[in-house]
Amino acid sequence: MVRQDDLILEGVHASEIASLRALADGAVPPARRDIVPLHAKGWVDVIGDDAIITLTGRALLEGKSVRLR
């Protein structure tokens, strides 16, 4: 099993930012397979069928100096 710390150290991928933005915009919700890595990194909490962006995820979205991989 991969630890959350290891997943966070992996860095931010452009696809993850796109999924977070789609979730924040409320337009077309990202697929469940796109939510899983966000949840594993602590950027999204999942309650029932709803994905909620955490403060960490929000800070990532609003940050100006995010290095994408």
Query: 19: which residues sit within 8 A by CB, 6+ positions away?
Result: 30, 34, 35, 38
Report CA dihedral (15, 26, 29, 53) to the nearest 10 degrees: 60
Which of 64 and 42 is assigned the larger pLDDT? 42
Q: Which residues pair with 50 in a beta bridge?
A: 47
CB 29 within 8 A of CB 23: yes
pLDDT of residue 54: 95
Domain ranges of the chain: 4-62
What's this model's pTM, rounded to 2 decimal places? 0.73
Is pLDDT of 53 > 70?
yes
